[in-house]
Every structure is written in C-alpha cells, then in structure tokens.
Structure 1
C-alpha cells in the first residue's frame, strides 16, 4: 500500500514538473489585425495584416514586461516563410537557455503586397507601409502584449528589402526605436545592376497589362520568378504613385522610344527622395539619437549594388559624424543568416542583448 502511494506521489510530482516545463516553453503566435495605415488604400492591398510573434519562455504565467525586436522581411517572402527559414524560435530559445540573451519578444509584420514588396514606404496608392510598422504594429503590440512601451526597449532590424526598411523607418520613427540593425539592405540607391537601364525594367514598360507577368510564376519559384520586374513595379507604386495610370497606378521613371531609353527626371526625383542614402541629410539628428546602428553585407553578394551602396551609406554616415557599425563578411545575400553559425545568432541577437534596455 505504501509503495502504491509512493508511486502515485512520484507520478504526481512528475506531472506537475512536466506541466511547469510545458508552461515555460516559448510560443509563436500569428495575429491578424486591421491596419489603419493600409485601410482605405486605392491599390487593392489587403489592410488585414498578420504579425508573426515570438513570445519567450515564461511569458504565459509571468507579469513581466519585455523588450521587443521588430524584424522586417525581404522582398518576395512573407513573415511566416522568413520566420521558418531563419528558424527564429530555435535560435532565440537557445540563446536564452544559454544565458546569452535575456527573454524578449520578436515581431515580424507581414508586408507582402500585390507586387511582392512594400519597401516600407508610404504611398498614396498602395497604403502607408512605413506607418504600418512605426505606428500600427507598435501600437498593436503595446496594447495587446506585455511590452516595455519605450523606444529604448524597441529594436528594429531587417534583411534585404527589410534592411532598407529598417534604415528608412529608423529615420522616420527615431522616437519609436533606439537600436537598429540592417542586414544586407538593398536598393539604397541606383548602382551596378540595380539601374534604370536594367532589361527587366524595360520589360515592364512594354506591358499592356501586368496581370499575366505578375501571376505567371509563383514567387517561391525563384529561378523563374520575374524578380527585377516586380522590384521595378513595386518601387513605382511606392515611390511615384499615380492612381490614374492604368498599368501600375504609378508613374515610371523611364520609357522607351525605338529602343532608346528616355528618363523622366520629374519621376526620378521622387525616386531619389525615397532612397535611404538620400534621406540621411534630412535626418541627421534622428540617426544620431539612436543608441546603436549597424549595417552589414556579404562580400560575395549576388546583388552587386549592395556592397557598393552599403559602403557609400556607411561613408556618408561617417562624414556626418553619425556613429555606427559597418561590416563586410565572407558570404552572399542569404547563406550566412540562419543556423547557429549564421549572423542572426552570432551578431544580431548579441547586438540587441547589448543595446536594448530590459
């Protein structure tokens, strides 16, 4: 009889211990909300936007408030796909368990659009995507989760198009974010293969209707996906919107007459104003107010404009006395991001551990 009781007590304790362990595991939630900054747009973009949210171990049963990293995904990939590709849950769990990272929340907003990317820019046609991050996502998280609602406890990061967006939003919403990490930010300025004379840009100017080009190949089939065509179309809709244009609801900076490219300088000026490297001059004080700013890029980038424009961006910051970190590493656009040897784990998480207030 005593043996049976002892066995029962042991099983009960094991159950209680198992239950506690389960309650102490991290959690990933997917929340969709109506984003005011996208609502009412004229470009047929869905204002119901999803957030992929990592909650640390112990969140469910504690009353603790946590710092937050907002991570912006790249072009032609959404929040769920990037979260799974990088393996954020496993990486953050491991860093916390090893004592290398204090518990925090990570949020990845879904900024996928009809043309596969928002470039985190406000557009009179497609919606206000900078505001979606700097206002809507932050307000939703502060209202519905136990965040630390202060800029010193908010970090902003992103990769590729998301790196571009992190730099842009850092300038526009320096009152909301204190530490910023841009990974391989693309399209900072026209350079190298990212140029108006790109043959894919010409292909878009020749279209009578974008539907066949836009939907011809699934975006996840990167070998056949019209990547640069969609980049160009997206930038037009974000940088030079025009609701009366029948093709893109946007003005284009180029047109072709008998295979000769003609540049529309008025439209190009709108593009120039939206490139992050040209925004620096008007946002020097905002950039100087950041606790920390870092940019990195791969030496072996497939997109040749990225190393060049990232270096130009860094040199401009340096010339203006804006403190920052800039690093070129051995890698390409995406091969050094995921895994325990990737830069998310070895560089980005330690960066925010150091520079975010807890």
Structure 2
C-alpha cells in the first residue's frame, strides 16, 4: 500500500510522541497533611487536618541542592486533591509537559479544600474558618518549610478551575505580593447573576433540617456551601448561615440584606477596592467555555474583563468553544496548552 510522504512523516511523528510520553522521566506525588492552627476550632465542624497532594518533578531526590518554583492549583466544588491527580490525571499531564518542554520542572501543590458541604470557596468565614488565610498564608509557609521551593513571590503561581478559578481571582485580590502570576479556569462566582442569586437551591436549603438532606441534591448543596462561605452566621441552625431568601406560605421571598453580602463578596465588587493588587502581578489570565453549563460563568467573565479594562489592568481573557469540564485536562486541554506555558513564561525558575 502506498503512503504519501507527508502522511508517513506524520505517522512517525505521532509514534515518537507516544514513545516519548511512555519513556518520559516520571515525577511522583507526595500526600502529606497540614494540621491547621487557623482552622482549628471552627464553629462549622470542618476538619482542621487537611490533606495536601504535592507533585515533585523527576530528579527532585537526585538533586538535593536544586530548588523549584511552585504552582498552587485549587480544585473545584465537590472535588479534591486526590481526584485532581487520580481521576483528572494531573501527574501524567505534568510528566508529559515537562518532558515536552511545555514547562520546566516545578512543584505543584493541590490542597484538599472540600468541606462538609462541598467546598470552602477559598474564603474566610465565621462558620467554616479562615480558608483564605489558610491557603495564602499557612499552606505556603508549610510547603516552603517541607519542600525545596524557591520561597519568593516571583517563583510562585496560582491557578484553579471553577470554584478554584473563582478562588484564584479572590485570593489574588486579597493577598497582593504573594504570587507572581495567576490563571483562572472557568472561574465561578465572579459576580452576581440571576441563575444563582438567590438560585434554585435556596428554597430546598431553607426546608432542609439536616446535613444529609442538603447533601442529596447538588443545587441545595451549593446553596448551603455558598451561604456558609459568604453569609455565615454560626448561631443559625442547622447550617450556620443566613440565606438570601425566606420561605413564605407558598413562595420564596428575597432577603436583600443577605443577598447584598453575596454580591459584595464577588470579585466584580471587590476589584474597585483592590485594583492595585492585580496591577502588581506580572501576568493575569482567565478563560471559560462558551457552552458552560454553569450559566453565570460566561457573562460574569465578560463583565469582569470589561471592568479590568476600565481600571487599566493588563490581562488575558479568552472564551473558547467548550463546556464547564471539557478541554481542561489532557494533552489537548487548557492546562497543558495554555496554563503551563503561561507559568513557564512568567515564573522565576532560578534563585
């Protein structure tokens, strides 16, 4: 059978890529635990002992004098660090990316911030505890002490997807000088939108009388999680939070005072207060799928990009053809194709 030279070259190239992936030096993932002093005794009953998964590149043990930049990656709602590595395939992706030159060797840290109700939203809460401080302060100090990091802001990056994407933006605004560059994937809760403020889960959450009831349905779980994060009230039963609605005889009435707390906690409303925090970054980027099933994400991302432009903050914002979870992981996904090269360009890889 005759094969055209171009097709033959393509076949050889693809075969070489597969071989390179199979023979690429492999890093390994260390699973450790941080006994958080900040989260200890939180009224919401969240476990202060937090699992942290840490990717160490190939050669880490063999080169004891070498130090590495660190990328902190924040997982999404109801997800965790273990699923990032064991289901999403982050370790294989990093091995391949380093072998292919998409990024130089680095350490990648994924903290477990799944809570009793799906996620911390990476924010300080009177009910859940100070998760923002935990992530931006306690976790970084722990990693710098336990591993051979380049312990300086210029060698530190922050990224995340969905809840983690929103957390990435929120932390970048709240803790200037901590990271050199940040990249948010499909960031959730950037600003208010009718699809979730107050959202379909608020009514069922108000009717629920136990954690088990709230955990059965995703929209109810999300409403409880958001309320515990952004309108906490440790004395309120059964969830330690106020909700942006109240139950009438046969309808749900809005509670504007609580709704305002959710709105004011969003980056669209905190950006005007802290614009300098994003200006000091070397680079700031975010992207989202045009067909995202989480309906508030595309419009609020566009609004946030417009507001950044108003404040003259340099950034990259890209809408691509994809859904909430498509085109994120894998060798054709956004992490491999966009995120890792972004940090390879903007982080310091030497002292």
Q: Establish whether TM, by shorter chain, passes 0.5.
A: yes
**Equivalences, count:** 325
Match of 1:60 in 2: 61
Corresponding position of 2:210 = 210
Q: Distance in 2 between matches of 1:85 and 1:191?
A: 31
CA distance in 1, matches of 2:34, 2:177: 23
C-alpha distance after superposition, 1:6-47 (max 9, x if no partner): xxxxxxxxxxxxxxxx9x641101001201221121111000
Instruction: Please say which of residues 30-39 and 264-273 is displaced more in the overlay.
Output: 264-273
The corresponding residue for 2:348 is: 357
TM-score (norm 1): 0.88
Alignment partner of 1:279 out of 270, 280, 289: 270
Deviation at 1:202, TM superposition (A): 0.9
Q: What secondary structure, in the 3-state scheme, does the structure 2 residue paired with 1:281 have?
A: coil
Q: Report the CA distance between 1:82 and its aligned residue.
A: 1.9
Structure 1 residues 261-270 or 174-183, which shifts more?
261-270
Superposed, 1:235-254 pairs within 5 Å as 235-254=226-245
Give the 3-state SS of the residue equivalent to 2:201 in structure 1: helix
1:297 corresponds to which residue? 288
Map 1:251-266 → 2, pairs under 5 A = 251-266=242-257
Mapping for residues 147-186 of structure 1, pairs under 5 Å: 147-186=149-188
Q: CA deviation at 1:342?
A: 0.7
**Stretch of structure 1 that moved more, 335-344 or 78-87:** 78-87
Measured in 1, the distance between the counterparts of 2:241 and 2:215 equals 19
Give the aligned partner of residue 77 of structure 2: 75
Structure 1 stretches of 4+ moved >3 Å:
none
SS state of the match for residue 87, structure 2? helix
Asked if 1 retains the 8 angstrom alpha-carbon contact of 2:202 and 2:243, the reply is no
2:214 touches 2:224 (CA, 8 Å); kept in 1? no
Q: How far has the Cα of 1:99 moved from its partner? A: 2.4
Structure ID, larger Rg: 1
User: 1:130 and 2:132 equivalent?
Assistant: yes
Q: Displacement, 1:192?
A: 4.2
Contact 2:159 2:185 in 1 (8 A): yes
> How far apart, CA to CA, are the structure 1 residues paired with 2:250 and 2:151?
54
* Aligned-pair CA distance for 1:335: 1.2
Matched, 1:142 2:144: yes
Is the CA contact (8 Å cut-off) linking 1:151 and 1:176 kept in structure 2? yes
Q: Does 1:329 align with 2:331?
A: no
5+ residue gaps, structure 1: 1-21, 217-225
C-alpha displacement at 1:96, in angstroms? 1.3
Tell whether the 8 Å contact from 1:253 to 1:264 is kept in structure 2 after alignment: yes
